[in-house]
Structure 1
Amino acid sequence: MRKTIESEGDRTFKLGSGTTSGYGRYVKSLGEPVTDLEDPDQMLWLRSLIWPDHVGRQERLTAAIEVGRENPPQIVEGDASVELPLLLAEAPDQTTLCVYGTHTLYQFPREARVATLKAMQAASRQRTVHFLGMEGTGQDFSELRWTVYEDGERSTRVLARCNPHGRWLEWLG
């Protein structure tokens, strides 16, 4: 069943603050370029990336900017294939390792993409790593995939087909 995603005004999902189950929030973002959410010029540039007739996407961006301002993640600039192994190794033991990317891997040079995926596989020899990724399929939809790396092995499940710009989602489970 395909669901259309509508903007629901002020109903947004926000990252929690404080602690959960005694563990602090641990979120790191890895990538370039870093956008300063307080810089009006950078916000104007970011908004310019959304097509003018996509009002819902503009609304979701506005909500996301507010979440980012209220709960800023620590941002690490650099090459994911180099930095990700270090970030996975330094994550607190009590946390679940979850890496996510949205239309990201296809932008990496092949060697960096392979190294990034191998980094998650290698880290899984110590503890489970979850990778939630949405990537293109070469068709008119993207796929949301959940890959679990455990004991050096990988298993992947397609969770959904979706519009690359968030307009609809077909949940496959």
Structure 2
Amino acid sequence: MTALDLVQRRLSRFAERETQGVSPLYEHLAVRAADDPEVAGLLTAAPEHFAHATLFLAAAHRLVQAEPFHALTDYYPSLGGTYGADERTWPLFREFVLERADRMRELIATRSTQTNEVRRAALLYPAVAMVKGPVGLLEVGCSAGLLLGLDQYGYRYQTEQAGQLVAGPAKAALGLHCALELAPGAELPRIPKSVKVAAKVGLDRAPADLTDEDTYAWLEACVWADQPERLRLFGVAAGVQRKSPPVFVTGDAVDDLAAAAAQVPSELPLVVVTSSVLAYLPAADFVRALRGLDRPVWWVSHEGYSEALEHVLPGRDDLGAGDTASGVLGLVRFEAGEVVSAKALARTALHGQRLVWLP
């Protein structure tokens, strides 16, 4: 498989599995890019591990941001566009990115997808709440660390059985809504009103500085362009984070995990969080690094089954089957390098819209 073959396949898979019914614009663009070697070839500038459709589309989004009067902005709701994808969209897009091919390749080669999908906090909250607090949170692949603010957000979980379940501070600046459904045989989880977090640490190879204008613009570009509500939530969460920023550690998710964990006081339960990160990492090595930490660890994972829980909870093929645009919320406890407990808590919609609680 050549590098071009790889990126074309990833673009096609992204269009088929992640965008249908979610992002008409990105589905339209990814389908056509996958069939256009000249356009898809731009993505080969990225290291293989990072050469995903989301990076390609974020780079294009960033360049469109920089030219707000270009005709292509008519198709970008994030920039005020109101047109749906039509026969002009792809020709305009193709011409735009190929005319700026050098700038596209530079962004693709030097940046990584840093999606700060703050709605995922609603998925993580019930799992973190299962660890008796106050806890120390360590988010791996944190980007700007917005998920580390999960104790500061308000939550509304809509259920069929009990109506709306409310959690989080009463006057939270950011409110998140999430559907909470039950799989056959499951019972509603207990969702406490608050989670106590005494330390917040983010580990990333390039932590995002929200005070830097160019960095902030790149994080906005990583939000899918036809989902302006996600962009609004990002802006509100960024404001919350600026008032109480976490401790950031620059480093590798595997090699520097122990150094980042050491930033969490030893008297606090250590809760390591990953959310849609392990697709970009050697997952088996990461799990070994978790086992190697010299203290008890709780791992809250929101990943695809094969990328996370399969390494500690094998044989659950049911969790890996079906819609690849969904994830699995897991809670694993390690002590002295051994798995003390491992549980799949829920199936999820990857952007935080839905939890399907498991028995």
TM-score (norm 2): 0.39
1:47-70 alpha-carbon deviations (Å, 9 max, x no partner)? 111123323322221222112211
Aligned counterpart for 2:335 among listed residues 145, 150, 156 = 150
Matched, 1:36 2:206: no
Aligned counterpart for 2:222 among listed residues 45, 49, 73 = 49
Count of residues in correspondence between the two structures: 154
Sequence identity percentage: 29
Which structure is higher in strand share? 1
Classify 1:87/1:34 alpha carbon distance in 2 versus 1 (closer, same or farther; 3 Å): closer
TM-score (norm 1): 0.76
Q: Residues 85-124 of structure 1 correspond to what in structure 2 (within 5 A)?
A: 85-89=258-262, 91-108=264-281, 110=282, 113-123=283-293
Q: CA deviation at 1:152?
A: 2.5
Q: Tell me which of the two structures has the higher relative contact order, counting C-alpha pairs closer than 8 angstroms and 6 or more residues apart.
A: 1
1: distance between equivalents of 2:229 and 2:356? 18
Q: CA deviation at 1:11?
A: 4.0
Q: Which moved more, 1:30-39 or 1:47-56?
A: 47-56
1: distance between equivalents of 2:212 and 2:262? 32
Which structure is higher in helix share? 2
Mark the runs of 5 or more structure 1 residues left unpaired by the alignment: 14-19
Matched, 1:160 2:346: yes
Say what the alpha-carbon RMSD is for the aligned residues: 2.7
**SS at 1:25's partner residue?**
strand
Matched, 1:77 2:250: yes
1: distance between equivalents of 2:222 and 2:325? 20
Classify 1:146/1:37 alpha carbon distance in 2 versus 1 (closer, same or farther; 3 Å): same
1: distance between equivalents of 2:353 and 2:208? 24
Contact kept? 1:3, 1:169, Cα under 8 Å: no
Contact kept? 2:254, 2:285, Cα under 8 Å: yes
The structure having more radius of gyration, on CA atoms, is 2
Contact kept? 2:297, 2:335, Cα under 8 Å: yes
**SS at 1:62's partner residue?**
helix
Q: Which residue of 2 aligns with 1:16?
A: none
Q: CA deviation at 1:101?
A: 0.9
Classify 1:131/1:3 alpha carbon distance in 2 versus 1 (closer, same or farther; 3 Å): same
Classify 1:99/1:130 alpha carbon distance in 2 versus 1 (closer, same or farther; 3 Å): same
Mark the runs of 5 or more structure 2 residues left unpaired by the alignment: 1-156, 160-171, 177-195, 306-319
